[in-house]
Amino acid sequence: MKNFLLALSSGLLLALSWPTYGFPLLLFFAFVPLLIAEFNLRQKDQKPGAKVFGYAYLSFFIWNIITTYWIYFSTGFGMWFAVLVNSLLMTLVFFIYHKIAKKINFTAGATFLVCLWMCFEKMHLNWEFSWPWLNLGNGFSEYISWIQWYEYTGTFGGTLWVWLVNLVIMKSVVLFLQHQDKTIIYRGILKSALLIMIPIGISLFIFYSEEEAASEEMEVVILQPNINPYTEKYYTSDRKVGELLVNLANEKITDSTQLVLAPETVFAGGTKLDEFKYSNSHYFGKQMSIDHPQVNFLCGVSFFNIIKNEKDIAPQSNYAEHKNFWYNDYNSAVLLNQTNSAQIYHKSKLVVGVENFPYQSTLKPILGDVMIDLGGTVAMKTTQRDREVFTLNSGEKIAPIICYESVYGDYVTNYVKNGAQLLAIITNDAWWGNTQGHQQHLSYARLRAIENRKNVVRSANTGISAVINSKGEILKTLAYEEQGSIKAKVKLNERKTFYTQFGDYLPRIAQFLALFIFLFALTRRRNQI
């Protein structure tokens, strides 16, 4: 029962630490009960493996279900799949640590756990079932004054920070229980306090001393049409949507406005890629630039193209059985202005089960068509290799980041490497209703601002649309389920931070350390704290 309560405590502490409702200080203590339970079982139980696995799964299940339950509002199957599988993956990481820790000393075991967890998080950024929502470094997204040093480490710096403090506290507690020496507790409190306060102190210094680098300022108008995706979006013509966007834009556009931003797939009618020039989305975008020659219109469009040559069929292509043809389906961002031809970027970090069916040839015969209809279609989306950067008619460069892509730190750096001076996020977060889902998604965008020291403008269909400065501070917002627009002046710069240049270098180092310790553990048998 004691170990059960310890595991339960870890799960609750992890859940209560998470944005946008929790307090991240709890992250520094959250793993301690589970670590103590594992240590107790390892020391006292002859065959602790099954118990360690079960208690770990309990902790991680509680964390996952409380923080990501909101997926249920779009899909019950998707929610349970995400929660159960992600909990299992976290448990496997912890179980591997348990097996290795039995053979090596505490320092080596702790190092292995930290490195292995970072490897797991890195995998979650890149593999087919990518789901990095609960990567530990994301947990500080609402307390941006604590993590200004993310411009050097990215979110993996936060992951390292969390685990270091938890392991210091756990070791102090275990040693105290063994030796009953209060000085152990005092030293542990001092060490953990320093580990927490020094990074926060450094961050506060950066936060209050940092001057926003800006080569120029630009006026932006952000549109929030508030079109219900379940009852309106796919029953409203692109023409009516275009008229609504023009009306919303005209409320705020001035002679100084250079960029108008509209949400992801706001034109959802399905436009043939090779006939885009004749579409309503093209017409209204061009019309806006005719009425306001200095304006660039960036919006989301749902594209498709029919494949005429069998040689062009790709793994991401779709087959329309009822019409007997193959086609590619795109979730795209488009930039239109008066002087240049249309610039198009196809979303390339796809939502699992919505825009991407991983290992389709293997899983589809087993699972059938389980893709979730969140876009008027259950088709696989076609991606592109490069991070396209849009160039405005006055020469400024903008990163068109589509929805889920904004959760990926290293991915976003590639836009900046390609010259982006401003991060423009277009999204549709209405699928989950008024839950923590859309709030957390906005909160994570603050991390991208800090990592790259770039302003962020965010257009969300039903909200929350926002303007974020390079310190991660939210300057302006438009509330959830409110129709309207935001006008703001944002700063552009060409700065490339340490993290922009080197990306996720911490997990790359962690991979080598984890492998080294693993191989070392195969040759040693020690079990001590």
**What pLDDT sits at residue 30?**
97
What are 512's two structure tokens?
């080598």
**What pLDDT sits at residue 377?**
47
What are 7's two structure tokens?
């595991």
In 382-435, where does DSSP find H-type helix?
409-417
What are 469's two structure tokens?
């400065």
Per-position b or e across 297-308, b if 16+ CB within 10 A of its CB: bbbbbbbbbebe
Could you tell me if 21 and 70 are in contact, meaning their C-beta atoms sit under 8 angstroms apart?
no
152: exposed, middle or buried (C-beta count within 10 Å: 0-12, 13-18, 19+)? middle
Parse the chain into domains and list their residue ranges: 2-210+504-521, 216-308+318-494
290: exposed, middle or buried (C-beta count within 10 Å: 0-12, 13-18, 19+)? exposed
**What pLDDT sits at residue 431?**
81
* Closest of 224, 212, 142, 213 to residue 458, by C-alpha: 224
Packing angle, helices 49-68 and 2-16, rounded to 10: 30
Residue 423 bridge partners (DSSP): 399, 456
What are 152's two structure tokens?
């050097």
145-189 pLDDT, tens digit per residue, is 999 999 999 999 999 999 999 999 999 999 988 888 889 889 999
Q: Rounded CA gap, 25 and 195, in Å?
A: 12
Angle at 406 between CA 293 and CA 233, to 5 degrees: 65
**What pLDDT sits at residue 361?**
54
120: exposed, middle or buried (C-beta count within 10 Å: 0-12, 13-18, 19+)? buried
* Closest of 514, 275, 260, 232 to residue 376, by C-alpha: 232
**What pLDDT sits at residue 376?**
42
Contact partners, residue 195, CB within 8 Å, separation at least 6? 161, 164, 165, 168
Q: Rounded CA gap, 180 and 192, in Å?
A: 19
- Strand ranges in 139-188 using DSSP code E only, listed in sequence order: none
3-class SS letters over 329-390: EEEEEEEECCCCCCEEEECCCCCECCCECCCHHHHHHHHCCCCCCCCCCCCCECCCCCCCCE
What are 511's two structure tokens?
């991979």
What are 423's two structure tokens?
């991060």
SS3 of 529, please? coil
Could you tell me if 427 and 458 are in contact, meaning their C-beta atoms sit under 8 angstroms apart?
yes
pLDDT averages per 10-residue partition of the chain, 529 residues: 94 96 96 96 85 96 96 84 94 96 91 97 91 96 97 98 97 89 90 96 94 83 90 81 91 93 91 89 87 92 87 81 83 89 90 69 52 52 88 94 95 96 94 89 97 97 94 96 95 95 96 93 64
What is the second-level CATH architecture of the domain 216-308+318-494? 4-Layer Sandwich (3.60)
Q: How far is CA 218 from CA 149, 153, 187, 257, 343, in A?
A: 27, 29, 52, 7, 20
Packing angle, helices 182-209 and 155-179, rounded to 10: 160
